[in-house]
Structure 1
Amino acid sequence: MSWRKEQRRAERGYHHGNLKEALLQAALGLIAEKGAAGFTFADAARMAGVSPAAPYRHFRDRDELLSSIAQRGFEQFESALNAAWDDGRPDTLTAFERVGKAYLKFAREEPSFYSAMFESGLSIEINPALHAAGERAFGVIRAAAERLAALAPPGVPRPPALMMALHIWSMSHGIASLFARGDGARRKLPMTAEDLLEAEVLIYLRGLGFSTERKSQQDQKPAGPAPGAPSGPWGSRST
């Protein structure tokens, strides 16, 4: 997203009377240009074409503005992951790989949202709505991991689904941050980011003794979360 494109959106939104939306779009443009930590509240007001005092009608400060952007990002992220998972159809492994690709696609196509969600330094613990949005998005990966854990072969100790979800999230997040971004922070890679993630997940699952053959598992019941498993793994500040 270019600065000019976002500026046009912001101005259009403000002239229609939607100051809050104009400020959100202005901030997205600034994140694309300078990063989540590279702009001020006054910068967002200036880009939206309003006075420095105007943003206080809707946001307490810059962090609250960033928090609103991050929340919207997590909501869109959850929707993309859910669509990719599609309740594990046609088989668990294929659907899980789609989730990974959706993760990378979001990082590539929505770098401003991605930066606000994971690189802004916001503490989501002080924002219940942001915390809930982050948990719902992580819940898609956890649900898929529970389905995978249920497929552990006989005689192989089944790892806790939460641990599997955290491991695979870490792989996805690392590859997305390094190789699948849609901005200047992307590193060069002699293969696609999707191919790299697929290889990592297959190696991980094989190391746990899982079969990586694709076959329908729709009749098998997913395992529930491990007793006493901690909640809230997603939203604390990621590095």
Structure 2
Amino acid sequence: MSDMKDRPYHHGNLRHALIETALTMLDEDRNWTFTVREVARRTGVSHAAPYKHFRDREELLRELARIGFVQLGKTMRNAMTSAQSSSRMQFIAVAQACIAFASGKSGLYCLMFSSDADKTVDPQLHDAAMSTFGILLELLEKGQRDGSFRQGEIAAQAAASWAQVHGLAMLAINGQLLEDKVGPEPIRAALNVLLDGVCCSV
């Protein structure tokens, strides 16, 4: 049958299909101005079908943001485990991986840190974001234990590190890391400046 109301049953997992469609639209347009109706149309289901899985557009956006944090966390973890053993090199690898993730999935990354991804009303989104942030805390703690990083308040070091990496990511997304302004390797140079203030003297 071709009736619209029957189409959802052609999807083995409608929730997954809706999310994949929304992520694709996010990649294409680099924003999240789309409506649930548009996501339904692109997925090939009735306008009412998405509401079986998401109460409203805001809930869908929060789920996309949660997925983004999970993906970013995996990216960071992979970078940390594949880098050289020194804490400094692992830090640089993780930071560069974050910025590459942001550049490659700019729409999703911007959504993750937007007011539409309200972590106070979604415990799962909050947990995913904190788990990702926990990787940075873990790396800083490791650096302090092995003597690579200065002893100090982990939360303060994490805030400074996250602020710089996030700032570099946003500059990269907006195409503002121009060589004539910030040199040929601005990301690596900026990270080294940050680490020179965090690392112990060799």
TM range (shorter): 0.7 to 0.9
Residue aligning to 1:218? none
| CA–CA separation in structure 2 for the residues paired with 1:210 and 1:118 | 32
| Stretches of structure 2 lacking an aligned partner (at least 5 in a row) | 1-7
| CA–CA separation in structure 2 for the residues paired with 1:45 and 1:87 | 40
Residue aligning to 2:44? 49
Residue aligning to 1:95? 90
Q: Report deviation, 1:33.
A: 3.6
Residue aligning to 1:195? 185
Asked if 1:124 is matched to 2:123, the reply is: no
Moved more, 201-210 or 38-47: 201-210
Asked if 1:174 is matched to 2:163, the reply is: no
Q: Report deviation, 1:89.
A: 4.4
Q: Report deviation, 1:188.
A: 4.8
Q: Letter of the 1:204 partner, please give it.
A: L
In terms of fraction of residues, the more helix-rich structure is 2
Residue aligning to 2:134? 139
- Give deviations 1:67-88, integer Å, cap 9, x for gaps: 1111111111111111111297
Asked if 1:186 is matched to 2:175, the reply is: yes
Q: TM-score, normalised by structure 2?
A: 0.82
Asked if 1:76 is matched to 2:71, the reply is: yes
CA contact (8 A) 1:23 1:55 kept: yes
Q: TM-score, normalised by structure 1?
A: 0.71
Aligned residues: 193
- Give deviations 1:23-66, integer Å, cap 9, x for gaps: 11221122234444411111211221222111001111111111
Q: Report deviation, 1:110.
A: 2.4
Q: Report deviation, 1:204.
A: 2.5
RMSD between superposed Cα atoms in Å: 2.8
| CA–CA separation in structure 2 for the residues paired with 1:28 and 1:87 | 27
CA contact (8 A) 1:104 1:193 kept: no
Residue aligning to 2:153? 160
CA contact (8 A) 2:140 2:158 kept: yes
CA contact (8 A) 2:88 2:148 kept: no
Residue aligning to 2:200? 210
From the superposition, tell whether residues 14 and 143 of structure 1 become closer, same or farther in structure 2 (CA, over 3 Å): farther
From the superposition, tell whether residues 149 and 88 of structure 1 become closer, same or farther in structure 2 (CA, over 3 Å): farther
- Give deviations 1:92-131, integer Å, cap 9, x for gaps: 1111111011111211222233133123532111111111
Asked if 1:60 is matched to 2:50, the reply is: no
Residue aligning to 1:237? none
Asked if 1:17 is matched to 2:12, the reply is: yes
Q: Letter of the 2:105 partner, please give it.
A: E
Asked if 1:106 is matched to 2:101, the reply is: yes
| CA–CA separation in structure 1 for the residues paired with 2:184 and 2:55 | 40
Percentage of matched positions with identical amino acids: 32
| CA–CA separation in structure 1 for the residues paired with 2:113 and 2:125 | 12
Q: Report deviation, 1:134.
A: 0.6
Please give the secondary structure, in 2, of the residue aligned with 1:59.
Answer: coil
